[in-house]
Amino acid sequence: MEEVRLSAAWVATHSSHVTVDSTGIERAVDAINGSVPKVEWDFEGIHYFDNGPLTVQYLFVLDALNFCFWPDKDLSYDHLASGLKAAIQNDKSVFNADRLQTYTGPQLRELLKWPRPLPLEDERVRLLHEVGLELERSFGGKAANLVESCGKSAASLVALIARHFPGFRDHSVYKGHQVFLYKRAQIFAADLWGAFKGQGYGEFNDIGAVTIFADYIVPAVLRQLGVLKYSSSLAGKIEANKEIDSGTEEEVELRACSIYAVEKMRDLIKMKSGKQVLSVELDLWLWSFGIQSQSLLHHRTLSIYY
């Protein structure tokens, strides 16, 4: 995750469309006043949890599909989390590695009880197959074995996932530099940590190394807080709901500057209050605030990464 932090900082210091505003950071940190409002993991009560390996399998499938809901205005992350939860409650073998390799688009839709094609449905199906195949080939079919092989290190888990599952390789080339964002791999580590309350499958000695998860909600919240400033052309595109292509300078800057800005907020909180907060905690607070806001305008990119 050092790669994520370093490459995000590189983008933030070379950016053309997004600025990280130090006065905005100062204000946001003063408003927090040393303690990040605590948001419980699963505050919405939508996730499956049985305190065992099946939960790990559920979370890995969930985060394999945790991207790009916005093209269907009625669809959100909640539908995915609760749809997969209902599916596993109904049939404990639904996410077995062999079955993951066989789902078709209509079957995935049926599993989620979604009445029409999902956004990027073909890609979702392809990624499910990839997860099933590689879990079977290298991890005895179980995401729990993948997690157990990481020696309680979230950084090792993210690296192992990126090595084995191409669909999780969330990186880009920006102004000639490789930039690592790893949103879904990192959120999987954070989901384990949150669900298992830092114990068992959720115990990571380096949870502090995880950055925020650069999606389309957090940048919009940071902008609302005055932490991020956009060029007028970028602001115009977002306001007009114009699509921003994946891998463009604008898109990479939105995501990387969000990571960098929250790392700066963390440093400032430490400096002002002496408290060591986690990016995971800041992320959950920012994200939960964002999804509850009716007026949040976010950027629109067709991406399998977030």
Catalytic residues: 215
Q: Is 95 in the site for ligand 56B (CB under 6 A)?
A: no
If binding means CB under 6 A, how many residues of this protein chain bind ligand 56B?
23
Segment lying near ligand 56B (by CB under 6 A), choices 18-26, 208-216, 224-232, 261-269: 208-216
DSSP string, 247-264: TSHHHHHHHHHHHHHHHH
**Degrees to nearest 5, angle at CA 139 with 134 and 144:** 115
| Contact positions with ligand 56B (CB under 6 A) in 156-195 | 191, 194
Q: Is 215 in the site for ligand 56B (CB under 6 A)?
A: yes
Q: How far is CA 2 from CA 10, 158, 293, in A?
A: 12, 11, 32
Q: Which is nearer to ligand 56B, 97 or 108 (CB)?
A: 108
Q: Is 291 in the site for ligand 56B (CB under 6 A)?
A: yes
Segment lying near ligand 56B (by CB under 6 A), choices 13-21, 70-78, 139-147, 220-228: 70-78
Candidates 139, 165, 182, 213; binder of ligand 56B (CB under 6 A) is: 213
Task: Report which secondary-structure segment, H or E, holds 157.
Answer: helix 154-164
Greatest extent of the chain over all pairs of C-alpha atoms, in Å = 53
| End-to-end CA, the chain | 17
Return the amino acid letter for 143.
Answer: A
Q: What is the rounded distance in angstroms from the CA atom of residue 160 to the CA atom of residue 168?
A: 10
Altogether, the residues listed in the chain come to a count of: 306
Return the amino acid letter for 304.
Answer: I
Q: Which residues contact 128 (CB under 8 A, 6 or more apart)?
A: 61, 64, 65, 100, 101, 103, 108
Q: Which is nearer to ligand 56B, 218 or 238 (CB)?
A: 218
Q: Which is nearer to ligand 56B, 217 or 228 (CB)?
A: 217
User: In the bound complex, what is the minimum distance in angstroms from residue 222's beta carbon to ligand 56B?
Assistant: 11
User: In the bound complex, what is the minimum distance in angstroms from residue 61's beta carbon to ligand 56B?
Assistant: 14
Q: Which is nearer to ligand 56B, 97 or 202 (CB)?
A: 202
Q: Which is nearer to ligand 56B, 79 or 99 (CB)?
A: 79
Q: Is 118 exposed, middle or buried (0-12, 13-18, 19+ CB in 10 A)?
A: buried
**Degrees to nearest 5, angle at CA 256 with 250 and 262:** 130
Contacts with ligand 56B, 221-240, as mask; x by CB under 6 A: --------------------
Candidates 58, 69, 103, 165; binder of ligand 56B (CB under 6 A) is: 69
Segment lying near ligand 56B (by CB under 6 A), choices 39-47, 84-92, 105-113, 263-271: 39-47
Instruction: List contacts with ligand 56B (CB under 6 A).
Output: 41-44, 66-67, 69-70, 76-77, 191, 194, 212-213, 215-218, 283-284, 287, 291, 306
